[in-house]
């Protein structure tokens, strides 16, 4: 492919507008076209990785193939995947003390598996943190339970499935859980070890692609407790409500939805009642 601009670096106002509209249409991620530094940085990385000469060429290709691989690469390039183990710790304390006993009292884990869903799971740190808490809770009870992680980025889902983390990633995990749920790599001397989530958690997890704004009707999922955290902030107000409503539909009556502490919804999702800051219960 060749284009009129020899350099990758520059993104004009028209291209910015087309790119932000495309990523919004594909994922709901809402970026101001005036954030040119951010756009240039991310798009230039994308162009380099795809061997495309410049943004004009990429935008033309995107116009002709609005849902093809180039479009998926755009979402990959503009999504932010920041996450960490036991992020917003209060939710995990609530899960152990309140959430799990409440859903088990409704039959979860007994007459059917208890399902925890991380609905924008990124690298899986949120999913595995929840898994560690549920495993500890379930140990002396005969509970059946599963983990489900979904994300709009295929690339990050591959990472989540590998379930391999660096030393600095695992620091927030309590010591006893590190011992129980992490396998340490045997690294050559001097190399930093890496850590893999133990098979007892990995074997419980299903990971898959899903767009929160357009959840596939074929997706067979009813969750007891859903983490929908630190993703709504990337959507505009209308899409926040749409995503939360889509997710709420997949939660069992008596189940719970957790949003990020800084992600106040303008109104609770249909059929849900706020029961604590950033926690909703399905009626
Ligand atoms: C900042 S991370 C949050 C990860 C985790 N939930 C947490 O709180 O640490 C946001 C994730 O949302 C995903 N995402 C963005 N738009 C999405 C959409 N429309 N559907 C599903 N996932 C989406 C991104 O790919 C990214 O991995």
Q: For residue range 116-128, what is the model confidence (pLDDT) as tens digits?
A: 999 999 999 999 9
Q: Is the CB of 259 under 6 A from ligand 1?
A: no
Closest C-alpha residue for ligand 1 atom 27? 122
Compute, in angstroms, the gap from residue 129 CA to the centroid of ligand 1: 16
Q: What is the pLDDT of residue 8?
A: 52
Low-confidence ranges of the chain (pLDDT < 50): 1-6
d(CA 256, CA 282): 6
Give the pTM.
0.94
Ligand 1 pocket residue status of 29, Cβ below 6 Å: yes
| Domain with residues 89-282, CATH architecture | 3-Layer(aba) Sandwich (3.40)
CATH architecture for residues 13-78: Orthogonal Bundle (1.10)
190 and 220 in contact (C-beta within 8 Å)?
no
Distance between CA atoms of 117 and 146, rounded to whole angstroms? Answer: 9
Residues of the chain with CATH 3.40.50.150: 89-282
Atom of ligand 1 nearest to the CA of 84: 9
* Residue 16 alpha carbon to ligand 1 centre in Å: 22
For ligand 1, the distance from its centroid to the CA atom of residue 171, given in whole angstroms, is 22
* Phi, psi dihedrals of residue 208, rounded to the nearest 5°: -160, 165
CATH 1.10.155.10 positions along the chain are 13-78
Residue 75 CA, ligand 1 centroid: distance in Å: 11
Q: What is the pLDDT of residue 6?
A: 36
Interval between CA 151 and ligand 1 midpoint (Å): 6
């Amino acid at each position: 492919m060749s284009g009129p601009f020899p350099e990758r670096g520059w993104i004009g106002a028209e291209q910015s507008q087309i790119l932000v509209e495309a990523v919004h249409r594909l994922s709901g991620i809402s970026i101001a076209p005036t954030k040119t530094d951010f756009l240039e940085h991310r798009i230039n990385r994308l162009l380099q990785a795809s061997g495309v000469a410049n943004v004009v060429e990429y935008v033309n290709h995107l116009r002709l193939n609005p849902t093809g691989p180039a479009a998926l690469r755009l979402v990959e390039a503009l999504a932010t995947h920041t996450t960490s183990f036991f992020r917003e710790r209060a939710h995990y304390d609530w899960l152990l003390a309140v959430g799990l006993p409440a859903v088990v009292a409704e039959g979860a884990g007994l007459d059917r598996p208890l399902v925890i869903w991380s609905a924008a799971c990124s690298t899986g740190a949120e999913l595995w943190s929840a898994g560690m808490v549920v495993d500890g809770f379930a140990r002396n009870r005969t509970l059946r339970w599963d983990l489900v992680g979904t994300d709009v980025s295929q690339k990050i889902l591959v990472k989540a499935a590998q379930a391999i983390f660096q030393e600095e990633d695992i620091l927030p995990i309590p010591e006893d859980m590190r011992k129980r749920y992490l396998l340490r790599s045997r690294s050559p001397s001097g190399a930093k070890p890496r850590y893999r989530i133990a098979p007892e958690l990995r074997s419980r997890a299903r990971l898959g692609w899903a767009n929160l704004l357009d959840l596939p009707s074929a997706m067979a999922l009813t969750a007891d407790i859903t983490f929908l955290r630190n993703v709504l902030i990337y959507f505009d107000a209308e899409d926040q409500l749409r995503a939360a409503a889509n997710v709420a539909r997949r939660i069992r009556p008596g189940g719970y939805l957790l949003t990020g502490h800084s992600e106040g919804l303008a109104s609770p999702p249909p059929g849900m009642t706020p029961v604590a800051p950033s926690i909703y219960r399905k009626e």
